[in-house]
Amino acid sequence: MNSIVEIRQMSKCFGPTVALDSVDISARPGEILGLIGENGSGKSTATSIYAGMQLCDSGEMFFKGKPWKPSSMNDALLHGVGMIVQENGTVPGISVAENIFLGETKSFMKGPFVDRRRMCSEAQDALDRIGADHIRAEAVTASLDFQDRKLIEIARVMAKDPDVLVVDETTTALSQKGREIIYRIMEQMKQTGKTVIFISHDLDEIMEKCDRLTVLRDGKIIRTFEAEEFEENAVKAAMIGRELQGSYYRDDYDGSVPDEVVLRAEHLNLGNELVDLSLELHRGEIVGIGGLSHCGMHTLGKVLFGNITPASGSVEAEGKPVRNEAEAMKLNIGYVAKDRDTESLCLEASIRDNIAIAGLDRIAVNKHFILPANEKKYVQKQVDSLSIKCRDAEQYVSTLSGGNKQKVAFGKWIGRDSQILILDCPTRGVDIGVKQSMYQLMNQMKREGKSIVLISEEMAELIGMSDRILVMKDGSVKKELHRSSTLCEADVIEYMI
């Protein structure tokens, strides 16, 4: 009892997909409730219904003991329930201040005009209060990066001083600074007797920050753990419905690889992002690239795939130059971008289109004819072998969960039998079940003699998967570390900062 948020027997379907099946969730004043579950388990659906973004098919909701039926996200916020969504929640073409007071221009009218000066100054206050004073309220939102746009959403929500704050998988997309802002807000809310519902797929993070932890799986509540019951394996088992089988990362410590070089970059320069950087990738090798977010590693990934042209230097595979994406694809190089929603995938298209597009040359008969049956077979093979959770291959990618989107991005390249994969943060925003299957996939590719450049911000993943780790700083490689069972995170971090 004594709960401020109460969801009872909530169900919700999207066509044939049962997103929520008789879900009960309750959160108390003065607590941070964690919500965890694999991608697609229903976390965003349940919380977004509570925050007024969509309707449920059946079930009851209560807020402070009274029936709760918000008519919109703004309505919910005005009554005390705010949510920071997983996706981008700002409008790009307008100013930061207008985003912070979205839908509230009326309260800033001075005669027939909007008093922009007052709006900006109040917006600036809202930004300053959450510790995001580096953002100017007058700036055009589109000119800001993802992190700053997230901070705008946080300022918007916090300006209304909500009693309940839902944070949906926001922290993974943020840097340390952004995370600290969120953690501080969460802690303050808790201290003042308010409530936070914190959604994350990062088990360590969620166990550290939360007072209780509710686990969802396939739209059902599996169990709620009290703080004293937090135990990694028990939570994981509840999430995936079985004990994790086999090892998570690679379990061999033999980092030796054949001499044959399949990809070579020489003396790459590009502003201060790449400074005389050279590297070699061998057959069957996984080379990890680590560093702080502005060290140049994401740019390097794009250069290796011919997506960005360096100011000087060269990339070659099989002795042939890689100067653009077409050449990269001919040389069997594949690339999964860090920002998969805008760069790797076309969200408003089907799984079939997304996977087939990179494989047209493999599907075509006599180079020119695409037989629908062949295309279907090609795509279905990827859907099956990667276990992409979907209704069918015609489903739009925009409706898939993060992990399944990422599987589609992999499917594009695996389908065409890429020999070299450049993966930029491939497991970002992906839960442990999908993560493990991606590691297994990388391992299998390695065994088949394929080669991988693994660009990652996660130390554990770099150490767990790489034959060699190149640590980047200020555009160049500062240190090369070899696979070993004794390598630890501090060894890598030491060279990053």
Ligand X SMILES: Nc1ncnc2c1ncn2[C@@H]1O[C@H](COP(=O)(O)OP(=O)(O)O)[C@@H](O)[C@H]1O
Stretch that binds ligand X, among 41-49, 99-107, 185-193, 362-370 (CB under 6 A): 41-49
Residue 44 within binding range of Mg ion, rule CB under 5 A: yes
Whole-number Å distance between alpha carbons of 100 and 98: 5
Q: Which is nearer to ligand X, 95 or 401 (CB)?
A: 401
The first and second tokens of residue 267, run together, are 């003396």
19 binds, among ligand X, Mg ion, none (CB under 5 to 8 A by kind): ligand X
Q: Which is nearer to ligand X, 42 or 162 (CB)?
A: 42
Stretch that binds Mg ion, among 42-50, 123-131, 263-271, 294-302 (CB under 5 A): 42-50
45 binds, among ligand X, Mg ion, none (CB under 5 to 8 A by kind): ligand X
Q: What is the DSSP string of 122-165?
A: HHHHHHHHHT-TTS-TTSBGGGS-HHHHHHHHHHHHHTT--SEE
Residues 326-355 touching ligand X, rule: CB under 6 A, are none
Stretch that binds ligand X, among 11-19, 61-69, 305-313, 380-388 (CB under 6 A): 11-19
Q: Which of 41, 124, 214, 436 binds ligand X (CB under 6 A)?
A: 41
Instruction: Tell me the Cα Rg of the chain.
Output: 24
Residue 43 within binding range of ligand X, rule CB under 6 A: yes
Q: Which of 52, 56, 7, 55 is nearest to 27 (CA)?
A: 7
Give the burial string for 332-365 (b: 16+ CB within 10 Å, else e): bbbbbbbebbeebbeeeebbbbbbbebbeeebee
Q: Which is nearer to Mg ion, 74 or 399 (CB)?
A: 399
Residue 47 within binding range of Mg ion, rule CB under 5 A: no
Q: Which of 39, 124, 354, 451 binds ligand X (CB under 6 A)?
A: 39
Residue 45 within binding range of Mg ion, rule CB under 5 A: no
Q: How near is the Cβ of 141 to ligand X at its closest, in Å?
A: 24
Residue 171 within binding range of Mg ion, rule CB under 5 A: no
Q: Which of 7, 19, 81, 158 binds ligand X (CB under 6 A)?
A: 19
Stretch that binds Mg ion, among 28-36, 40-48, 340-348, 386-394 (CB under 5 A): 40-48
Size of the site for ligand X (CB under 6 A): 14
Dihedral angle over CA of 302, 303, 304, 307, nearest 10: 60
User: In Å, what is the CA distance from 386 to each residue of 23, 68, 383, 419?
Assistant: 29, 40, 6, 18
Q: Which is nearer to Mg ion, 149 or 473 (CB)?
A: 149
Q: Is the distance from CB of 403 to CB of 430 less than 8 angstroms? A: yes
Whole-number Å distance between alpha carbons of 200 and 164: 17
Query: Angle formed by the axes of helices 372-385 and 402-415, to 10°?
Result: 120
Whole-number Å distance between alpha carbons of 80 and 455: 41
Residues 381-420 touching ligand X, rule: CB under 6 A, are 399-401
Q: Which is nearer to Mg ion, 85 or 363 (CB)?
A: 85
User: In Å, what is the CA distance from 214 to each residue of 36, 42, 211, 383?
Assistant: 6, 12, 10, 30
Residues lying near ligand X in the complex (CB under 6 A) are found at 14, 17, 19, 37, 39-45, 399-401
